[in-house]
Amino acid sequence: ETITPAGQEIIRLQKKAVLQMKQTNNALNDILKLRQGLLSKEAIVSDPRPLGQIIAAVKDTLQQDLEKAGAQININLNGLEQVPFPFVYMQSMFYNLLVNAIKFRHADRPPVIDITAVRLNENNFRFTVADNGLGFDILRNKNKLFGIFKRFHPQIEGTGVGLHIVKSIAEAFSGEVTVTSEPGKGTEFVVVLSN
């Protein structure tokens, strides 16, 4: 009560800075754990869960954010029930891609997120997460797309590690991530995993 308005503003900014440092620290820890985990024997032993169950768990985790954004999620798994990959990594990929779709939504419309999955052949699987959000200039941002702490919309809070995590997981399983995007129209991430 004795702190002046200017002092209160300084405290608010300090709290914000501490929160950002904490988020950055947590993000770095996540990356280190991910890299250690992907190189461990445990990562090679599959712990598959039904794909629908993995996506449902991610939706539950993000329920408040989805409701607040008025998001609609369309899911088409094309009969693909289980994928032979550790579920924790599958869950992390879907979580990070959905968080991006919600976070980078367009202000003029509620987000529509389409999730599709398909078995390409006996050993290859493709997952697509497409949204109708802000999008970005892919040619201009091509080199920093999956970099750590790289962001395309500085006005939106975030750590800039989600896409790096998605790419790290995909590549650890001999896969790849490709992106198409158009400013103002949306973004589509395609993840191909190889068993």
User: Of 50, 60, 174, 190, which Cα lies nearest the Cα of 130?
Assistant: 190
pTM attached to this predicted model: 0.74
Query: Between 66 and 34, where is the model more confident?
Result: 66
Look at residue 152 in the predicted model and tell me its pLDDT: 53
User: Of 73, 172, 84, 70, which Cα lies nearest the Cα of 124?
Assistant: 84
CA distances in angstroms from 146 to 30, 83, 112, 141, 192, listed in the order given? 15, 24, 23, 10, 16
User: Of the ranges 9-13, 76-80, 143-147, which one carries the lowest mean pLDDT score?
Assistant: 143-147
Task: Determine the angle formed by the axes of helices 5-38 and 162-172, rounding to 10 degrees.
Answer: 0
